[in-house]
Amino acid sequence: MAQDRPTASELLAAIADFLRDEATPALDKAEPRLGFQMRVAVNSLAILEREARLGPAADAAEQARLVKLLGRDGTLIELNRELARQLRAGERDERDPALMEHLDATTADKIAIANPKWR
């Protein structure tokens, strides 16, 4: 059973903060190669934290957009497979404003998780 506090997101953020602010500088001085690897690990933890915090809402919004776009219910995986099928079959393309709006929103949500500094 999950605890109320700290949340998984808070724990991941605390670990990333410690590693970034204390462990990485020490490793940079002692072993620069390990310092670099630590920065990669810290970035990975930050992505996991954002995924835990933002992922469920992003997935729900994507699924709701797909239900509206495709006119049918299904899981997020099923709906994405159907959209991919329609794209491959030429049933939808970039001239469809609803499709482009969906793709823009989905991409923005994924970037917010993977690399929020990008935009």
pLDDT at 103: 98
What pLDDT is stored for residue 1 in this prediction?
52
Angle between helices 32-70 and 8-18 (to 10 degrees): 150
Q: Full-prediction pTM beyond 0.75? A: yes
pLDDT, tens digit, 9 for 90 and up, residues 37-75: 999 999 999 999 999 999 999 999 999 999 999 999 999
Integer angstrom CA distances of residue 9 from 12, 13, 43, 102 = 5, 6, 14, 27
Residue 103's nearest CA partner among 113, 114, 115, 94 is 94
Which pLDDT score, from 0 to 100, does residue 9 have?
87
